[in-house]
Amino acid sequence: MEHHQHQKTSADIAKSEPTKMDHSKMSHGSNPAMGHQGHNHQAMIDDFKKRFYVVLVLTFPIMLLSEMIQHFIGVNWQFTGSSYILFALSSIVFFYGGWPFLKGWADEVKAKNPGMMFLIGFAITVAYGYSVAIVFGLSGMDFFWELATLILIMLLGHWIEMKSIAGASKELELLVQLMPSEAHMVMPDMVHDVKTDTIKENDIILVKPGEKVAADGIILDGESYLNESMLTGESKPVQKVKGDKVIAGAINGNGSIKVTVSHSAKDSYLSQVIKLVDEAQKSKSQTQLLADKAAKWLTIIALVSGIGTFLYWYLTGQTLAFAMERMVTVIVICCPHALGLAVPLVVAKSTALSAKNGLLIKNRTAFENSRKITTIVFDKTGTLTVGKFEVSKIVSLQKGIDENEIIRLASALELKSEHPIATGILQKVKELSIKIPSAEKFNAITGKGVEAIVENKKVSVVSPGYLKENKIAVPNDFKADDTETVVFLLVDDELTGYIALSDQIRPESAEAIKTLKQNNIKSILLTGDNGKVAASVSKVLGMDSFMAEVLPHQKLEKIKDLQSKGEFVAMTGDGVNDAPALAIADVGIAVGSGSDIAAETAGIVLVNSNPKDVVNLILFGKATYRKMIQNLMWATGYNVVALPLAAGVLYSQGILLSPAAGAVLMTVSTVVVAINASLLKVKS
């Protein structure tokens, strides 16, 4: 997780130690690396905790020896040398307790980038230097008890803040831990346990019941139910049989399976997800840049206000001690601590939570912009519908050619296609136990179908649009249901028959469209399918409108049209033929990419093709943005109130904030921001 370039948080203080929360250095898919990462950060948390307790113990005698506290409780415990004991104890607090802040101050000066550590370091040094001068002869009252309580509260604030940061990054750690560290490699003579990161493509691994799958691959033998919920958000275990794909990190049910590995651990789906989450957590969004700017300004305001406050009080006749105290309090209150955390904590939490729910954020700005969406364009097949075309009828239009021959010739062409229609035809061929002939000179007719030479005949499988374009007449008795998609078979350019396929509407689609309506978001169906099918699906689901028989390159134009009418458009597609449209849309959402998450043009990838996930994404985008704005308000709001009080605006009414009270306010603001970020949830 990345914090500001401008404002250091406590996770960045010890630059020289290998403790910065940089997930990019970890070896994905290897647990020890993550353990080391966690260990480093834990060591820093423990260091702050230890410093806090040492300062806490020393603060009691410091307070009891302080003249002001004694005066306040009505005692006089001064004795010879008491001021030197006070000086000695306070020096330990300043150098030991204040060390992380002093070091951070030096680092910021070196980097010519003054920020929060600069402010804290400056404030405690002024307080300490002035108090030491009092002990050695300057007249006035020392600041030692304020110094001790200030450092104590600062250490507590940083300790709590770091625990929050660790919490926000925990989800990423959990993703890393999904990958088992060992796998059972199947050798010709035995099963051998090997480290997961040594597995290569085409290795065969055994996954026993209850174990995690160690690598992406295809089941070679056996069948089982696999729980992929941590990876895809799909709560029900999925049945997997021979030939099915499995994802690394999925938990095996009660069957034993052998898996042929499709790529090494570092290229696995899970590793890519971890890398994506990591990069998204580090990527700066518009809100982050706004927070950076605000924090930078707050640093400048702190220094100017602090010095201005000091000069005002000192030059209007107040004591040096009073003027110093006001300056220290103003500077402490202004520390843009909470502001430095406001957005990064929400970013870390939201990105990791999304990944757990099957929403992979590649572009933070696209995710934040999802709250502005006014229109969603849905690709039909596989998103609103199941995407499994099943052959509903085969009709021959030529004597001497039966239904089996129609589907046999069509299957030769579809063997090379991954389109859902092809899958449906091949499934039917398998059921009928028909042998598929080979095809040569295969050629795809963009958006219209495919053609090839099969058994020395030119065979084409085409859409109704192709027939229209080539003025091929459709027979009078041709009938197709509104929900059916029809492809025609041409043999040597003659219409020979047709195959009708239908695709079921997903049970979740209607609910998703209804939720969008409730949120005043229009839903539009965009499909290459015929108008009747599109109209039927659109009507059943209660969508706002539809666009049918749209070729891939035309999808881009349709999106542009909507944008020119002032709509903020999200496009959902499968990332292949929809790539241009996904790129031009305000928010591109690639759906159903399964284990291939390299849908380069989309800002967001949905692991499942579930339309409810699209709705969840928008609602979660809105919730995340609300959290960021709430945090920015908390982080800056207290400054607006506390800064004038610290500067002494209401001094004439007897209202004045002490440095310790300023530090308490600053810490409370930071803690509120951290807790608020941790309350973020994905509604499902």
Per DSSP, the residues of 499-535 read: EEEE-PBPTTHHHHHHHHHHTT-EEEEE-SS-HHHHH
CATH 2.40.30.10 fits 182-267, yes or no: no
User: Which of 143, 139, 162 shows the shortest CA–CA distance to 151?
Assistant: 143
Catalytic residue among 142, 379, 529, 574, which?
A: 379
Q: Which among 152-166, 324-338, 436-450, 517-531 has the top mean pLDDT?
A: 517-531
Q: Which of 67-71, 124-128, 512-516, 604-608 has the least mean pLDDT?
A: 67-71
Average pLDDT of the residues in 573-581? 67
Look at residue 409 and tell me whether its pLDDT is greater than 90: no
Cβ within 8 Å of residue 299, ≥6 positions away: 6, 7, 114, 115, 116, 118, 119, 334, 336
Is the model's pLDDT at 597 over the cut of 60? no
Strand partners, 378: 525, 572
Mean pLDDT along residues 429-449: 79
**pLDDT greater at residue 548 or residue 385:** 548
Give the pLDDT confidence score for residue 23 in this predicted structure: 32
Torsion of CA 276, 282, 288, 292, to 10 degrees: -170
The region of weakest confidence among 158-162, 496-500, 513-517 is 158-162
Query: 161 pLDDT band (50/70/90 cuts)?
Result: low
Query: Quick one: pLDDT band at residue 76, thresholds 50, 70, 90?
Result: confident
Average pLDDT over residues 182-193: 86
Average pLDDT, the chain: 77
- 3-state SS assignment for residue 583: helix
Could you tell me which of 449, 432, 450, 428 has the C-alpha nearest to residue 440?
450
At 295 the pLDDT is 67
Q: Report in angstroms the alpha-carbon separations of 101 from 34, 98, 151, 291, 605.
A: 28, 5, 9, 22, 41
Name every residue whose Cβ is closer than 8 Å to that of residue 482 and which is 6 or more positions away in sequence.
532, 533, 535, 536
Q: Mean pLDDT throughout 416-443?
A: 79
pLDDT given for residue 36 in this prediction: 44
pLDDT for 285:
61
User: How many CA atoms lie within 13 Å of 394's alpha carbon, on the beta-carbon side?
Assistant: 19
User: What ranges do the domains of the chain cover?
Assistant: 10-175+276-351+624-678, 182-267, 359-385+506-607, 390-502
Domain 359-385+506-607 superfamily per CATH: HAD superfamily/HAD-like (3.40.50.1000)
Task: Specify the pLDDT at position 38.
Answer: 52
Position 12 pLDDT exceeds 50: no
Give the pLDDT confidence of 294-328 residue by residue, as tens digits: 767 777 888 888 899 999 999 998 888 788 878 87
Q: What mean pLDDT comes out for the span 625-633?
A: 86
Binned at pLDDT 50, 70 and 90, residue 35 comes out as very low
What's the whole-number mean pLDDT along residues 435-446?
79
**pLDDT tens, residue by residue, 276-285:** 666 665 666 6
Which of 3-7, 64-68, 421-425, 643-647 has the largest mean confidence?
643-647
3-state secondary structure 625-646: HHHHHHHHHHHHHHHHHHHHHH
Q: If you average pLDDT over residues 45-50, what whole number do you get?
A: 88
For residue 425, give every residue at least 6 positions away whose Cβ sits within 8 Å of its Cβ, in sequence order, or none: 391, 407, 410, 411, 414, 499, 501
| Residue predicted with more confidence, 573 or 135 | 135
User: pLDDT higher for 419 or 654?
Assistant: 654
pLDDT in the model for residue 173: 67
Higher pLDDT, 167 or 243: 243
- Split at pLDDT 50, 70, 90, the class of 232 is low
Query: Does residue 557 surpass a pLDDT of 80?
Result: yes
Is residue 615 a contact partner of residue 622, using CB atoms and an 8 Å limit?
Answer: no
- In this prediction, residue 30 has a pLDDT band, given cuts at 50, 70 and 90, of very low
- The whole-number pLDDT of residue 288 equals 64
- Give me the mean pLDDT over the 191-219 stretch: 88
Q: Residue 563's pLDDT is what?
A: 92
> What is the arithmetic mean of pLDDT over 237-254?
84
pLDDT at 92 over 90: yes
Residue 94 has pLDDT above 80, yes or no: yes
The rounded distance, in Å, linking the Cα atoms of 520 and 538 is 17
> Going by C-beta distance under 8 Å and a sequence separation of 6 or more, which residues neighbour residue 548?
525, 527, 528, 529, 530, 531, 533, 534, 535
pLDDT higher than 80, residue 476? no
Is 3.40.50.1370 the CATH classification of the domain at 390-502? Answer: no
pLDDT, mean of residues 51-75 = 82
> Among 307-316, 486-495, 659-668, whose mean pLDDT is lowest?
659-668
Q: What is the pLDDT of residue 247?
A: 84
In the residue annotation, 482 being an active-site residue is answered as no
Question: In sequence order, what are the beta bridge partners of 459?
Answer: 452, 491
> pLDDT at residue 264 above 70?
yes
Q: What is the mean pLDDT of residues 177-199?
A: 83
What's the mean pLDDT in 584-591? Answer: 84
H/E run at residue 613: helix 611-647
* pLDDT band of 170, cuts 50, 70, 90: low
Name the residue with higher pLDDT: 229 or 171.
229
User: Does the predicted TM-score (pTM) go above 0.75?
Assistant: no
Express each pLDDT in 361-384 by its tens digit.
777 777 888 888 999 998 766 677
Q: What is the pLDDT of residue 414?
A: 79
**How does pLDDT run across 521-553, given as a tens digit for each residue?**
999 998 877 787 788 888 888 999 998 888 767
Mean pLDDT of 186-215: 87
The per-residue pLDDT for range 104-154, each reduced to its tens digit, is: 889 888 988 777 677 778 878 887 888 888 888 776 667 788 788 878 877
In this prediction, residue 27 carries a pLDDT of: 33
Locus of tokens 């290459």: 528
3-class SS at 363? coil
